[in-house]
Amino acid sequence: MNENSKKNISLADLRQDFPILNQTIHRQKPLVYFDNGASTQHPNVVIDAMDQCYRKTYSNVHRGIHYLSEQASAQYEAARLKVAAFINAPVPESVIFTAGTTMAINLVANSWGRANLQPGDEVLLTICEHHSNIVPWQQVAAATGAQVLFADITDDGLLDMDDLRRKISNKTKMVAFMAVSNVLGTIFPVDEIIALAKSVGAATLVDAAQHVPHEPTDVQQWDADFVVFSGHKILGPSGIGVLWGKKEMLESMPPFLGGGSMIDQVTTAGFTPGELPAKFEAGTPPIVEAIGLGAAIDYISSVSLNAIADHEKALSAALVARLEKIEGLTVWGPPPEYRSGIVSFTIRDIAAQDLAILLDQKGFAIRVGHHCAMPLHQRLGIKASCRASFYLYNTLEEVESFADALEAVVKRLS
C-alpha cells in the first residue's frame, strides 16, 4: 500500500485495539503508558494471531511434512516476507530472524567482526549508543586487537559531525550507530553517516530499533550493510528481532551459532552451512513470535508511518513546552525539529527514581535510570534521567495530564 494512500485512523478508534490501555491502577488511576521506548503494547490482532497459532497450527518449522508443520512453516515464512516488504529489502532471504536487536548486533560483531577485524583496525560508534551496540564491539575488539572509538555529540544533543569526520579514517572498518537516540530522541543523519563511512571503505550497521516502528524505513535507500531492530518495539512480541544485511555480506560471513537448521551437511569430519536465511537461524526459531511480528507489521502497515511520526513529534513538542516552564527542570536533547517521540529530563535536587515512583502512583508509566546508555549519561554529567516515550496510541490529553501531575510532584518534593 502506498504511504500516501493509507487512510487516517482516529486515535479514539485505534486505542480500542489495545486492551491493556483500558484499565485503571493504583486506586482507580487511569493507566497512561509512556514507556514505549522500552517496549510497545500489543493490539488485539497480534494477541489473536499468536493465540490462534498455539491453538490450531503450532509445530516446529521446516522439519516435518505433516499438516501442522507445513502450516506453521508457511506462517513463519510469510512473516519474513512481510518484514522484507516493510523495510524494502530486495530479497527475503536477507532477512534473518533473531532474538532481538541485541542478538542481531552480537551476530554481526562476532561473525563479521571476528572474520574482518585485525590489530590496528577501528570500530567507530557514537557516544549515544545503547549498550547492545557498545559491549559486543568492545568484546570483539578485545579478541581481535581492534579499537573502539566514539564520536561525540554537541551540547544540544545533536551528533557532532565534525568530530565524526575527525575520527573516521582509513583505519575505520565498521561504523555502527543508532538511527534515533533512545535517550535524547535525536534523529541521526543516517544517509550522511553512511556516505562518510563509504568514503573510507568502512562497513555500516544501523541500530534502527527506535526508527523502524516510527518512520518509513527503506534499507535500499539507506544503503547500509546491516540494519537491526526488535519486534517488541513495533507492537510485536518480545523474543523476536530482525537482522537485515546485504546478501553478499551475509553470504561472506561464517555462521554465528551451530546446530540444527543452519547446516547443509554434517559429517564426523565437519559441516557445511546452509543457505540464507537458515545459515544464521540455528535451532528452533521464535516461531510464534515471528507470526506475531508479522501481524504487528500488518497492523502498522494499515496506518501511515509518516502520520505516526508527525503525531509523536507533536506530542514531544507539547511536553517539552510544558516542561521548560518547570523551575529547575532540564530537558535533554535537541530542539523539536530534530527530535522523535522521546523526552528525557532531570530536575535539580530531586532524584529521578523518586519522580518516577510518585508519577507511577498517579498512573503514569515512564522509564527511569540510564536507559542502557551509561556512556551518554556520563557525557551529560548525570547518573540517571526520567524518560517519557510515545507511540501512536498516546494522546495530547495524556501529555497535558502528565505535565500537570509532574508539576504537582515537583511542588510536593521541593
Where in the sequence numbering do the catalytic residues fall? 372
Question: Residue 409 and residue 190: Cα distance in Å, rounded?
Answer: 38
Strand residue runs (E) in 246-325: 263-267, 270-273
Question: Residue 217 and residue 208: Cα distance in Å, rounded?
Answer: 9
Residue 368, amino acid: V
3-state SS assignment for residue 330: strand
Question: Residue 12 and residue 97: Cα distance in Å, rounded?
Answer: 33
Sign of CA dihedral 35, 124, 88, 334: positive
- 287: cell is 516461531
- 123: cell is 570500530
Question: Please, how many CA atoms are within 13 Å of residue 192, restricted to the half-sphere of its CB?
Answer: 9
Sign of CA dihedral 353, 355, 359, 361: positive
**If you ran DSSP here, which 8-state letter would residue 42 be given?**
-
Residues in CB range of 65: below 8 A, 6 or more apart:
none
Bridge-based pairing state of the strands 122-126 and 172-178 = parallel
Using CA atoms, how far residue 365 sits from 120, 163, 218, in Å, is 45, 36, 32
- 209: cell is 530499533
* Helix orientation angle between 352-361 and 396-413, rounded to the nearest 10 degrees: 120
Place of cell 553478499: 248
